[in-house]
Amino acid sequence: MASATFLILVAAASLLASFAQADLQYGYYNTTCPGVEELVRTELEAIFADDSTLRAGLLRLHFHDCFVRGCDASLMLNSHNGTAEKHADPNLTVRGYEAIEAIKKVVEKACPLVVSCADIMAMAARDAVNFSAGPRYEVETGRRDGNVSMLEEALTNLPPADGNVTVLTQYFAVKNLTMKDMVVLSAAHTIGVTHCSSFSKRLYNFTGAGDQDPSLEPAYGKTLTTKCPTEKMASVVPMDDVTVDKFDLGYYESVYNHRAVLRSDAALVEDSLTGAYVALMNNASSLDIFFADFAVAMINMGRAGVLTGTQGEIRETCGVYVD
């Protein structure tokens, strides 16, 4: 259970957020679709009971949507020609589309053409965190859905899995997110898995000489080569090997002890500023601070490039075709 300190910090952040982004607001659907957030949560509870791995999937789905054209559900759009965002290489392993569509169908029955797919995705990401023992924070709503989705934009806007802190900070800055937002949001990797192909270079050919990344803790590197032999790059491993399915500080413990899987995660300890935050979070007493920081960072990311007012659309189905 979160402490009073955590609740106060999130409440303060929420108040500041409401002033900062007038087009989004808390309780946007209070009169037009009352109870929609609980409706979404109820549907998710059933979905997660059937497949708990979708908690990480829906969190990632929201991230990948917000980083391309903003949080506008453009990642949900389909293309007959394979030219939509979801067809870009970084999105080929993204999961959760069917879950969002299922929730949208239920919401449409209650409130036809009122609630956007983008807002459902934001609610689902929040609830995915909470159902994984993470914080439950208020979500700003009022987003509308975009109707443009381009593969090329996904390739140029999604942060690379092998980026260093300088590169990652630049990608986040484009979305008006700070370095702190970046090191905090990176901890979304405390739940979920990644494919061996995403970090195989660290194991087998880091400098091009058939070597292993020297920043990787040797014993853990050996464990990863066992789990990810060269002939099985489609295999998956958890990004947080401390507490695989729990939203907690296990991610930072892994990073601090040089047991991060992705190079972009491992890089956090190589910068003095992000490294200091990792060190601070490598302590059980920092959990409430992390929860409060994560709530603020998610609110900040949720404002990226949003469509509001008369912009965009509210569509009956999230995954319509753009061609």
Catalytic residue among 62, 64, 80, 195: 64
317 labelled ligand-binding: no
Compute φ and ψ for 321, nearest 5 degrees.
-90, 140
135 labelled ligand-binding: no
258 labelled ligand-binding: no
5 labelled ligand-binding: no
127 labelled ligand-binding: no
The interaxial angle of helices 272-281 and 287-301, nearest 10 deg, is 130
Rounded to whole angstroms, how far apart are CA atoms 189 and 286? 17
Beta bridge partners of 76: none
Residue 80 annotated to the active site: no
190 labelled ligand-binding: yes
Using CA atoms, how far residue 28 sits from 4, 17, 18, 22, 128, in Å, is 26, 14, 12, 11, 21
156 labelled ligand-binding: no
108 labelled ligand-binding: no
Rounded to whole angstroms, how far apart are CA atoms 239 and 216? 14
CA 192, 197, 199, 200 torsion-angle sign: positive
213 labelled ligand-binding: no
Active site members: 64
Q: Which residues are annotated as a binding site for substrate?
A: 159
Q: Which residues are annotated as a binding site?
A: 65, 68, 70, 72, 74, 85, 159, 189-190, 240, 243, 248
Q: Which residues are annotated as a binding site for Ca(2+)?
A: 65, 68, 70, 72, 74, 85, 190, 240, 243, 248
